[in-house]
Amino acid sequence: MFEGLKNKLQNIKEKFGHSIKDAAGEAVREEVRPETPTSAHAEVSEPVFEPETPAVEPLPETRAPEPEPVPRTPPPEAPAVPEEEPAVEPKRFGGIVSRVKTLVLERELVISEKDIEEPLFELEMVLLENDVALEVTDAIIGYMREDLVGSHRKLGTPVDEIVMSALRGALLNVLGDGLDLLEYIKVHERPVKILITGVNGTGKTTSIAKMAHYLEANGYSVVLGAGDTFRAGAIDQIVEHGRRLDIKVIKHQEGSDPAAVLYDTVEYAQGHGIDVVLADTAGRFHNRKNLMNQLEKIRRVMKPDLVVYVDEAVAGNDAVVRAKDFNDLVGTDAVMLTKADMDSKGGAAISITQTIGKPILFLGTGQAYSDIVPFRPEAVVDELLGVEE
């Protein structure tokens, strides 16, 4: 899943690492650059030479003239000779360089904009090429710059940790916290009513069946509402899913009022102690005014707890634009992306949450009912960055 983006992010991580390592290397070279005694940074004392002690000549004896003998005067004491100081051994550059390197490694590196300018630009290009929306790309770059530029990092800190922490944090910021449906159901009044919307051909009805299978596998009872009365064959499709999963489906005739169908579905759930209502609706485009009005009526009648928008991960920016239109017109609480297993870019998955401010609920990853993955932002980011569990 998202293999193309994953591989490119690995390369970007390495480029960030090389840039920061180069910056750290420059800092070390700046500190230990002096190789001659004249350098201002090398704390090398000039060699200390022991001054020669001047010789003290003995005073000659003074004799009085013979005719007049005079008592001998003792010679004056010789001046005190200063004690010898131990010779100072000249300092060696090897020791100084070693100590300076140790000092540098214990200090901090301040990462500058220049240090990461090139890899930041390459990261921006990688994100845009993989269908990440422009505003989301800008946000990721902004988070990276904010985290790295001007930050103080010990030079001994592994570069991989610095880059991984910044990139992981940036991606998590745009992906948000996610939504755990099981926890949501646990704390809300039953039945929890979930209205599923989306565009024709994106796998909306099949996604409803996958959700039903997932919920029943986790101990919750489900009823399905065949609210897509507009498309030919839609009722038969959801009824067949219900038969295979052994789940009750509430339906009316084709062309009937979908709001009435879903009202009856809620009534059935309340009367039979069902935990969750999953309501199908007609696939619609935002410019189909009659369908949008119909959806508004369904919301007024059904009063859903959650409105989930379904689209294809492989649609990239188109999925993001459609999700934003739906959210602006009728409101969306969460998103499910189908065909995530076929999407090597991952742009829609990364962009939607930041663009519409709503979490991704599930990823569809295949054709089987069990091919549905709860969207866990941390797990997705760790996979993108190659973090092993």
Identify the CA nearest to 225 among candidates 203, 244, 213, 241: 241
3-class state of residue 335 by DSSP: strand
For residue 77, give Cα distances in angstroms to 57, 73, 81, 171, 304: 12, 12, 11, 89, 115
- CATH class of segment(s) 3-32+91-168: mainly alpha
Instruction: Calculate the CA 171 to chain-centre distance.
Output: 3
181-376 CATH: 3.40.50.300
Per-residue pLDDT tens digits for 129-167? 999 999 999 999 999 988 888 766 666 666 667 778 889
Element (H, E) at 190: none
Per-residue pLDDT tens digits for 291-329? 778 888 999 999 999 999 999 999 998 999 989 988 888
CB 194 within 8 A of CB 306: yes
Identify the CA nearest to 222 among candidates 236, 232, 203, 208: 208
Per-residue pLDDT tens digits for 38-72? 444 444 444 444 555 444 455 455 454 555 555 55
In angstroms, the CA 66 to CA 54 distance is 36
In angstroms, the CA 343 to CA 199 distance is 18
Identify the sign of the CA torsion 183, 363, 1, 169: negative
Side chain identity at residue 331, one-letter code: G
pLDDT for the residue numbered 219? 97
Residue-range domain boundaries for the chain: 3-32+91-168, 181-376
Mean pLDDT of 239-256: 96
CB 295 within 8 A of CB 284: yes
